[in-house]
Structure 1
Amino acid sequence: MPTIPSMIAADYGVMGDILRERAAEAPDRPAVIMETGETVTYAQFDALADRVAAALQRDGVAPGEAVAVCALSSIPYAALFLGGLRAGVAVAPLAPSSTPEAIAGMVADSGSKLFFVDAGVAQAQKPAPVDARVVALDGSDAGETFEAWLAPEGASPAPVEIAPEHPFNIIYSSGTTGAPKGIVQSHGMRWKHVFRGDAVGYGPDAIALLSTPLYSNTTLVCFFPTLAGGGTVVLMRKFDAGGFLELAEKHRMTHAMLVPVQYRRLMAHPDFDAFDLSSTRLKFCTSAPFAPELKAQVLKRWPGGLVEYFGMTEGGGTCILMAHEHPDKLHTVGQPAPGHDIRLIDEDGVEVGPGVVGEIVGRSAGMMNGYHGQPGKTAEAAWTSPEGLAFIRTGDVGRFDAEGFLTLMDRKKDMIISGGFNIYPSDLEAVIAAHPDVLEAAVVGVPSEAWGETPVAFVALRPGAAVDAETVRAFANQRLGKTQRLADLVLLDALPRSHIGKVLKRELRDGWSAKG
C-alpha cells in the first residue's frame, strides 16, 4: 500500500469520500482510539458517519447550514464531524470553557437547528438555554441521546456535491478581545491542510496522539490529515502530562500536536526520561509563543523532529520552523511555507523590508471565506497589496532576518507606547524570565498620567521559590532600558490561559486596573 494514498495527490478532495476509501482499503484498522481504550475501526467509523449524515438529512439540515457541538472529545464527536461533512453540513465546534451566554450566542450566530452536548456542558448551560434541539453525545439525560437520534444501522445518506468554496466548519475565535467571531473555513482551505500531510508522513502507519480538544483548529490540522492518510488518531479528553506519556509509549505514537504550555509540563514531569518515546517521528506546536529555551530542551530530550507552525485560524499565511534542522533559529517561527506570501506592513499599511518591525500579513491558497455574518469585520481583517492582492492581517508584529526567518515581537494590540516610545512586552518578558526563580512572565501596558502607558509584569514563580515581587522587579529594571522599566510586578500562582494555552492578557490588564 502506498505511504500517501492516491486521493491525497489530487488538487481537491472531500473528507467524507476519503474516509469511505480508507474504510474500503483497511476496514479493520483502528481509526480512532480513546484514552480509555474504546476503539472504532475505519469500517465502523465510516458506517457511523453515514448514520449521522442520514440523520441530518432526515432532520432537514441542508448543505451549507451548520450544526453546533460543545463537548469534550469522543468517538461520537468525531463521527458527528465526519458525518456532517459527508452531508455538506458545516460543523461549529464550541469551547466548553466559554460562558453560558457566549455559547448560546455562538449557537444562535451559527444558525444551528441542532446542538450536540455532553453532560458537563449541559450542566454549565443551564443559565442560558439555546434555541435548538439538544442531543447528548454521551448518552446522558442532557438531551435526546445520540444513539436514539442517529439514523438506523445501515442507513446511507443521499449523495451531496461539495465544492471547494462550501463551508467546512465555523471556528469561533476565543473572544479574548471581544465577542467571538465565527471563522468560516471552506472545504478547499481544509484540504490544503490534508494535502501537506504528505510532507510530514501521515500515512497508514501514523499514530497521532491528540490531547488538545476537537473544537480547536490546533487539533483539526492534525486530526483530519491523519485520517485522510489512513492512520490512527488517539484522543485524550483532557491533557495531563503523565497520561500523555503513558499513551505515547503504549500506542507507539509517531506524531503529536501540542501547545507550548503542554510541552513545558511534559518537560517538567519527573519521570519524562523514563518513558520510551523512540517511535516519535514529528512533534508539532502552534497557537502560542514557544520559548526558544523550551524548544531546545524538547530537541535534546525527546526523539524525533520538532515543527512549529505560526499562522491563524483565519488562514492567510503560515510560517514553519523545522527546529531540528535549524537549531540556531529557535528564537524564530521559521520561514514562509511553500506558496505562502508573508509580508510586513507599517501603521500606514506600507510594506517594510527585512530587519524592520511591522504587522504580519499573509496570503495563500488557504484563506477563510470570512467571518460568519460579519462582512464589516471581514473587511477590517484584509490588507490589499500594491498589486491588488488580498492578504489577511494577523495582528502580530514581527521582523524578518536576512535569511527570511520571522521573529515574533508581540500582538499589535499588546505593544505599549510609553512617552512616545514603542515597548514590546516580549522583550521585557525575556529579561524577567532570566531570573532563576521565574517560571514565566507576562507584561501588559496600563494607563499612566505621566507616560500615557507604562509596563506592569505578572509573574509565576518556580515551585519552591521564595523570592518576593520587589526583588524580581529590581532584577528586571537593572537590565532594562529607562523607557522599559516596570512600574509594578505582581506574583501569581499561574498565568490565566485560554483553552489552547494563550495567556489572557486582557484579564491581567483588567484585574490590575480594577485593583488600582
Structure 2
Amino acid sequence: MIAETSDLYRRPTFVDLVSRSLQRYPDRIAFVTPSGETSYDELRRMIARIAAALQDGGVESGDGLALLSPNRPEAFAALIAAQSLGAHYTPLHPMGSMADHVTVCADAGITAIIADEPQYAEHAAALAAQLETRPQVFLLGGDSPSDVLVARGSDGDIPTLARESDLALLGYTGGTTGRPKGVMLSHRSLVTHLFLTIAHWQLPTDLRFLGSTPLTHALLGMVPPVFHQGGTVVLTRGFDPAEFCELVQTHRITATFLVPSMIYVLLDYVAEHSVDLSSLQTILYGAAPMAPDRLEQALDVFGPVFVQFYGQSEAPNTVTTLSKEDHDLARPERLASCGKPHPALDVAVLDDDDQPCAGGELGEVCVRGPLLMDGYWQQPEVTAETLRNGWLHTGDVGRFDEDNFLYLTDRKKDMLITGGFNVYPRDVEDALVTHPEVAAAAVIGVPDPKWGEAVTAFVVRTPDATATPAELIALVRELKGPVHAPKRLEFVDAVPLTPLGKVDKKQLRARFWAEHDRAVN
C-alpha cells in the first residue's frame, strides 16, 4: 500500500522530536532535582501515563489546558502529554495573581487545569470555580496517589495525535488595550525554534544545563534542544546565586540561561565569594537588553561564553543571535547589538509604509518565516494589524549597521521589561485606578542597575486622599502579582498630556533617560 502524500511528507511535531529524543537515549538522565534523577526512559513513560490519564479524563484534540507548577519533571511531562493528544496548553505564571489567572483562563476557554498539588491545589480549585467552563482539575504530586495525575495513567507509547499545523501553545502577553493577547504558537513554530536553537546557540557537546527560570515559560524552549543532544537538565525552583554556584560546581554545569538581572546579581555574588564556575561553556541570555558595561564585566569574569538571543512571544527567542565570537571587547560598540538574523528567517527594519530603511536608519523591526505565531487568539483585528503586509511587526525600533548587526534603540509599543519579564504599563495603571482615591495614573520604566527597567508610577490622588505609596503598591501586587508592583511611586498634581489629550509618556521618561543613548535598558 502506498502511503498518502500527507503522511509521506509529514513533518515532525514538537512532541515527535521530544519523544524520539527520549527513545534515542533511554539510559541517560533527563532531569536532576533535589529529590532525585529522572532518566530519559522514565520521563517517556511518565509522559505516556499522563497522556493516558488525560485522555481517560476526557481531554480531546483542540482542548485547552492551563498549567500551574513550579519547576519539576512532571510539569514538563504534563505539557508534552497534552500536546501529544492534539490539545494545547496555556502556562499560568506562578507569580501571577488569581485575577490574572481567571482573566487568561476565561479568554482561552480552558477546559482543564493541571496544577502542582503541594503548592497549587487550593488555588486551582478556586480558579476552576470562578470559570464558566468549570474545567476539570488534574493534580501533579502530593500525598494522595489516587488523586495524582502521574499515577492514574498506564505505561504505553506517547500518542501521536497532533499535527504540524495544530495549536501547541497558547501563551498570554499583556497589551495596551487592557485585554491580554493569546499568542498562538503551532507545532511548526516550536519545531522551528528547536532547530534554530541547535544551529545557533553554540551549546556544548557535553551538555549539562542548569535551569533556574520557569520551566513552563522561557525554559520550555531550552529543554527539548538539550534532550535532542542527549543532555541533562538540572532544575531549581528559582534563582539564588549561592545555590547557582554550588550546583555549577557539583554537577559541572556546562550551559545555562540567565536574564540580565540574574547575571548582575551573579556578578555581585562572585565578586565577594570564591567559586569555581570554570565548567561553564555557554551562558545564554536574553528576554531584556543588557547594559554594555555590565556585559564587559561579565566577559572579564566568565570569559567568552556568552550567547545573546532576541525574539518575542510572537517569534520566540531566535530572531537574531549575538555569538560568542561577536562578544568582542575589541569592538565594544557591538556589545550593544542583539546580533545577526538567522538565515531561516527574513528580518528587516521598515519605515511607517513598510518599506525597507537604508542601513543605519531607524525603523520598526519586522520578521517573517516559519517561526512566527499564527496570530492572536480570537482577536482578528489585532492579528491583522500585527501581521500586516506579510510581516510580523515587533513594535521594537532598531537599525542595522554595515555588517548586518541589529541594534534595538526604542519601542513603538508601550511596554517595559523588568527582570526579564514584559510589563505593559496599561495593566499597572488599570490596577491603580481601581483605588477610590486614585484619580489618574501613568506608569513608565526607568533605568535600573538591577532590574534593567524599574516599574515607576506617577499617581494623581483625589482631594483629601490619604492613600500612601506603600498601600497602592500593595494593591497592584494583589491584583497583578509582584512583577507588576511598582518599585517606585510618586504623587503628582497632574500627569503631562499631549495636544491630543493623551498621557505624554515621552515627557515622563525624558528626565530618566536623557543621559542614555538608547531608550531600552
Cα separation, 1, equivalents of 2:245 and 2:410? 32
Distance 1:314 1:455 in 2: 24
Q: Distance in 1 between matches of 2:186 and 2:339?
A: 26
Q: Is the contact made by 2:203 and 2:282 (CA closer than 8 Å) also made in structure 1? A: no
TM-score, structure 1 length as denominator?
Answer: 0.74
Partner of 2:44: 46
Residue 361 of structure 1 corresponds to: 366
Deviation at 1:105, TM superposition (A): 2.1
2:283 aligned partner: 283
**CA distance 1:56–1:250, change in 2 (3 Å):** same
C-alpha displacement of 1:401: 1.5
> Residues of 1 paired with 2:380 and 2:102: CA distance?
22
SS in 1 for 2:222: helix
Structure 2: any 5+ residue segments left out of the alignment? 1-8, 418-422, 430-441, 451-468, 496-521
For residues 336 and 161 of structure 2, what CA distance do their matches in structure 1 show? 45
Using the TM superposition, give the Cα deviation of residue 69 of structure 1 relative to its aligned residue in structure 2, in angstroms.
0.5
Q: CA deviation at 1:110?
A: 2.5
Counterpart secondary structure, 1:413? coil
Match of 2:381 in 1: 376
User: Taking structure 1 as reference, are residues 350 and 25 closer, same or farther at Cα in structure 2, changes over 3 Å only?
Assistant: closer
Q: What is the identity, as a one-letter code, of the residue corresponding to 1:195? A: F
Q: Are the counterparts in 2 of residues 96 and 121 from structure 1 also a CA contact under 8 Å?
A: no
CA contact (8 A) 2:30 2:40 kept: yes
Offset from partner CA, 1:225-273 (integer Å, 9 cap, x none): 1122221111111111111111112111111111111111101104676
Shift of the 66–364 alpha-carbon distance from structure 1 to 2, 3 Å rule, reads: same
1:213 match = 214
1:276-302: CA deviation from partner (whole Å, max 9, x where unpaired): 222222111111111111221221111
Asked if 1:145 corresponds to 2:147, the answer is yes
The change in CA–CA distance for 1:202 and 1:145 in structure 2 (over 3 A counts) is farther
Q: Cα 1:276–1:461, aligned 2, differ >3 Å: closer, same or farther?
A: closer
Tell me the SS of whatever aligns to 2:391: strand
Aligned partner letter, 2:130: P
User: Is 1:194–1:224's contact at 8 Å kept on the other side of the alignment?
Assistant: yes
The answer to whether the Cα contact below 8 Å between 1:360 and 1:394 also exists between their aligned partners in 2 is yes
SS in 1 for 2:76: helix
Which deviations, in whole Å up to 9, do the C-alpha atoms of 1:133-175 show, x marking residues without a partner?
222323268x9832476313x2446x43432211121111155
Partner in structure 1 of residue 136 of structure 2: 133
Equivalent residue number for residue 434 of structure 1 = none
Shift in Å, 1:359: 1.4
Relative to structure 1, the CA distance from residue 383 to residue 18 in structure 2 (aligned partners, 3 Å threshold; closer, same or farther) is: closer
Matched, 1:64 2:69: no
> 2:112 matched to 1:114?
yes
**Inter-partner Cα distance in structure 2 for 1:209 and 1:177:** 37
Label 1:15 to 1:348 Cα distance change in 2 as closer, same or farther (>3 A): closer
Q: 1:101 maps to what in 2?
A: 99
CA distance in 2, matches of 1:117, 1:105: 17
Tell me the equivalent position of 1:392: 392
Q: CA deviation at 1:180?
A: 2.3
Q: Which residue of 2 aligns with 1:252?
A: 252
**CA distance 1:13–1:258, shift in 2 (3 Å):** same
Unaligned runs of 5+ in 1: 1-9, 385-389, 416-424, 427-441, 447-453, 463-489
Question: What is the alpha-carbon distance in structure 2 between the residues aligned to residue 211 and residue 356 of structure 1?
Answer: 38
Q: Which residue matches 2:336?
A: 331
- TM-score by structure 2 length? 0.73
Q: 1: distance between equivalents of 2:380 and 2:445?
A: 37
Task: Return closer, same or farther for 1:309/1:242 CA change in 2, 3 Å cut-off.
Answer: same
Distance 1:503 1:353 in 2: 38
Paired residues for 1:80-479 under 5 Å: 80-118=78-116, 119-122=118-121, 126=126, 129-130=130-131, 131-139=134-142, 145-147=147-149, 150-152=152-154, 154-156=155-157, 159-174=159-174, 178-196=178-196, 197-200=198-201, 205-216=206-217, 218-270=218-270, 274-315=274-315, 318-327=319-328, 328=331, 329-384=334-389, 390-414=390-414, 458=446
Q: Is the 8 A contact 1:278 1:304 kept in 2?
A: no
Q: Secondary structure at the match of 1:352?
A: coil
Query: Whole-Å Cα distance in 2 between the matches of residues 346 and 318 of structure 1?
Result: 19
CA contact (8 A) 2:202 2:307 kept: no
Partner of 2:20: 21
Deviation at 1:111, TM superposition (A): 2.5
The 1:512–1:62 alpha-carbon spacing in structure 2 relative to 1, beyond 3 Å, is farther
1:31 aligned residue: 30
Task: After superposing the two structures, state which structure 1 stretch, 344-353 or 103-112, moved more.
Answer: 344-353
Give yes or no for contact 2:84–2:161 (8 Å, CA) kept in 1: no
The alignment partner of 2:221 has SS state of: helix
- In the alignment, the residues of structure 1 paired with residue 256 and residue 49 of structure 2 have an alpha-carbon distance, to the nearest angstrom, of 30
Deviation at 1:202, TM superposition (A): 5.1
Alpha-carbon deviations, 1:165-209, whole Å to 9, x = none? 111211111558733211111111111122131444557731111
Cα deviation for residue 514 of structure 1 reads: 8.3
What is the rounded CA distance, in whole Å, between the counterparts of 1:26 and 1:233 in structure 2? 14
- 1:208 touches 1:254 (CA, 8 Å); kept in 2? yes
Which amino acid is the alignment partner of residue 139 of structure 2?
A
Amino acid at match of 1:98: G
In structure 2, the CA distance between the partners of 1:304 and 1:137, relative to structure 1 (3 Å rule), is farther
> What SS does the corresponding residue of 2:70 show, helix, strand or coil?
coil
Separation (CA, whole Å) in 1 of partners of 2:162 and 2:444: 51
Matching residue of 1:3: none
Label 1:338 to 1:54 Cα distance change in 2 as closer, same or farther (>3 A). Answer: same
1:315 deviation in Å? 1.0
Tell me whether 253-262 or 161-170 shows the greater mean CA deviation: 161-170
Aligned ranges 1:488-499 → 2 under 5 Å: none
- For the residue of structure 2 that corresponds to 1:294, the secondary structure is helix
Question: Secondary structure at 1:408's aligned position in 2?
Answer: strand
% same residue: 29
> Which deviates the most, 391-400 or 165-174?
165-174
Post-superposition shift, 1:348?
A: 4.0
Per the alignment, residue 455 of structure 2 pairs with none
**1:291-332 per-position Cα deviation (integer Å, ceiling 9, x unaligned):** 111221221111452111111111187121115434221011
Higher relative contact order (CA 8 A, sep 6+): 2
1:21 CA drift (Å):
3.3
- 1:103 Cα offset (Å): 0.4
Q: What letter matches 2:372 in structure 1? A: M
Deviations 1:361-400 (A, max 9, x none): 111221111112222221121131xxxxx11111111122
Name the CA shift for 1:510/1:129 in 2 (closer, same or farther; >3 Å). Answer: farther
